[in-house]
Amino acid sequence: MSTKVLLTLADVEPAVRLNAMLEAAGLDTALVSPMDDVQAALKREKPEVIVLTGGLMDAANVALVQRQLWNGASVVGITDVADAATVTRLRELGYSEVYPKPADLEDVASGIRRLIDRRRLAQETGLIGDSAAMREVMVKLEQMAPVSSTVLVEGESGTGKELVARALHRLSPRRAKPFIAVNIGALPETLLESELFGHEKGAFTGAAERRLGRFELANGGTLFLDEVGEAPLSTQVRLLRALEQREITRVGGAQPLKVDVRVIAATNRPLRAAVEAGEFRDDLYYRLNVLTIYLPPLRERREDIPLLVRTFVQELAREHDRAFHGISASAMQILADYPWPGNVRELRNLIESMVVLSPGREITAADIPHELREGGKGRLLPVHIGPIARAQEAAAGGGRELEFIVRSLVELKLQVEELRRRVDDVRAARTEMVGEVHPVAALSVPAMEPAVEAPSAPEVRAGMTMAEIERAAIVHALRATRGNRRKAAETLGIGERTLYRKLKEYNLAEDA
């Protein structure tokens, strides 16, 4: 069984007593003395929680806490200094919980158990946050999941309403049954009722066979109705009957069908106002609003932003096979101060841009798009790197994905031009540049290497698919490096294995 809690013996007596309490509570523990190699112990034990029993402000311990902010373990500290300013400072440094001495070890043990429970719930649900608002959401999830009552999830676009719906299903007795999601706002009115309730053969032109609706497909499980406020009034009547009678009738059918479905509805606009405006039936509103969960916008829980950033960085770095060297304090402050009109979805998109375009160094404030630096609410562009970070913003236009790739290609061309300039300098000086590192792409240039011709960036046109654009970027990199796959991978900022996989995917293995 793997160790979950690692305790350091800087202060032996409380550490030993706390260790016994945690073991009695069924947790796995390990004790490490100050003479031990703590880093080796961390690799060996892989704890979820680290407890430091002294020296919380020591440089080595502060560095450990900072590393764990990115590595994922929570750090609990027991401090000799009890004043509020010190406790606040320790929390700012990254300690999850701080207990002044003489600490009530029962409270410390309870706090550690709460941290572990919160981490497991976050892993189970995908919901991230330690603010008071998110703790309230987590408590409601645990309370509502075991029952079958209808739940209305309210919150702005991008706050994670579908995550909440999936969490309710995953934590419920229905977890082994289907979870079916349908976006009502994305379906034309003429097809909506057929999608929800199904239709019989010949019910309308084109109905060549019987089709099961989402209610039937979700039988025994959970049906998630996203953007339920967009349902037309005619569909609202049938939804109400389905919720009250637990039965549906297919379009063109005459026989009612019993269904056992838990309905979770979501809306990004206040339904009460829609009821008052006559746009939403009040009886359906009350039937949906049996239990309610409100997801706050990101600007109302700014203290969660650093945790979200760190979590997304870890996930996306693994997903894209990229090394990530962290974010400076000033850059993190900009992220925390921005109002995030797109909420968590917008933040995750920006972090993905940072991870994908990371030049192998710490992200600084200069790498943050000016929309964030200025605190505006304009369209969020991908993060700029290297020379582009110093250039003015390109005129707005085109799709976000296309602009993202164009910027990547421009950056690639700049890197190749810089490589050629450096090689020319080497040839002129007749010196050897052993181990020199390119400031943007970490390219190593051997002495007297012939100048590499920088091919013009491939044309990127509106209408090209993402696969076509990605293939063009790979071909461009291979040409720029004369087929050297290792250098091409470095230029593109991806691993060699990822490049080999892409070469096979785009049938470039023989040509490269």
Alpha-carbon torsion, ordered 128, 131, 133, 134, to 10 deg: 20
- Is the confidence at residue 345, as pLDDT, over 90? yes
Contact of 70 with 326, CB cutoff 8 Å? yes
Pair 143, 273 in one domain: yes
**Pairing mode, if any, of strands 74-79 and 97-100?**
parallel
Q: What number is the average pLDDT over the span 210-239?
A: 93
% residues pLDDT > 90 (the chain): 32
Pair 139, 83 in one domain: no
Q: What number is the average pLDDT over the span 478-483?
A: 83
Pair 198, 175 in one domain: yes
Q: What is the pLDDT of residues 244-260, one digit of tens each?
A: 999 999 988 888 999 99
Write down the pTM of the prediction.
0.67
Q: What is the pLDDT of residues 393-437, one digit of tens each?
A: 333 333 444 444 544 554 555 555 555 555 555 455 443 333 333
Pair 270, 391 in one domain: no
Pair 28, 115 in one domain: yes
Domain stop point among 368, 396, 424: 396
Domain stop point among 337, 362, 396: 396
How many angstroms separate the CA atoms of 277 and 272, rounded?
9
Is residue 512 in a domain? Answer: no
How many angstroms separate the CA atoms of 101 and 78, rounded?
6
Pair 373, 467 in one domain: no
Contact of 365 with 328, CB cutoff 8 Å? yes
DSSP, res 443? -
Domain stop point among 125, 142, 174: 125
Q: What number is the average pLDDT over the span 21-33?
A: 88
119-145 b/e (C-beta count within 10 Å ≥ 16 → b): bebbeebebbbbbeebeebbebbeebb
Residue 409's nearest CA partner among 378, 372, 454, 451 is 454
- Is the confidence at residue 23, as pLDDT, over 70? yes
Pair 251, 371 in one domain: no
Q: Residues near 366 by Cβ (< 8 Å), separated by ≥ 6? A: 389, 390
Pair 14, 118 in one domain: yes
Q: Which domain holds residue 61?
A: 5-125
% residues pLDDT > 70 (the chain): 79
Q: Residues near 109 by Cβ (< 8 Å), separated by ≥ 6? A: 18, 21, 22, 25
Pair 148, 264 in one domain: yes
Is residue 511 in a domain? Answer: no
Is residue 510 in a domain? Answer: no
Is residue 281 in a domain? Answer: yes
Contact of 251 with 204, CB cutoff 8 Å? yes
**506 or 213: whose pLDDT is higher?**
213
Which CATH number fits the domain that encloses residue 307?
1.10.8.60
Pair 55, 88 in one domain: yes
Q: Which of 34-38, 167-171, 414-418 tops mean pLDDT?
A: 167-171
How many independent structural domains does the chain possess? Answer: 4
Is residue 58 in a domain? Answer: yes
How many angstroms separate the CA atoms of 477 and 471, rounded?
10
Which CATH number fits the domain that encloses residue 208?
3.40.50.300
Q: What's residue 380's pLDDT?
A: 45
Pair 59, 144 in one domain: no
Pair 94, 185 in one domain: no
Q: What number is the average pLDDT over the span 185-202?
A: 88
What does the H/E/C string look like for 103-125?
Answer: CCHHHHHHHHHHHHHHHHHHHHH
Q: Which of 324-338, 379-393, 488-502 tops mean pLDDT?
A: 324-338
How many angstroms separate the CA atoms of 77 and 51, rounded?
6
Which CATH number fits the domain that encloses residue 102?
3.40.50.2300
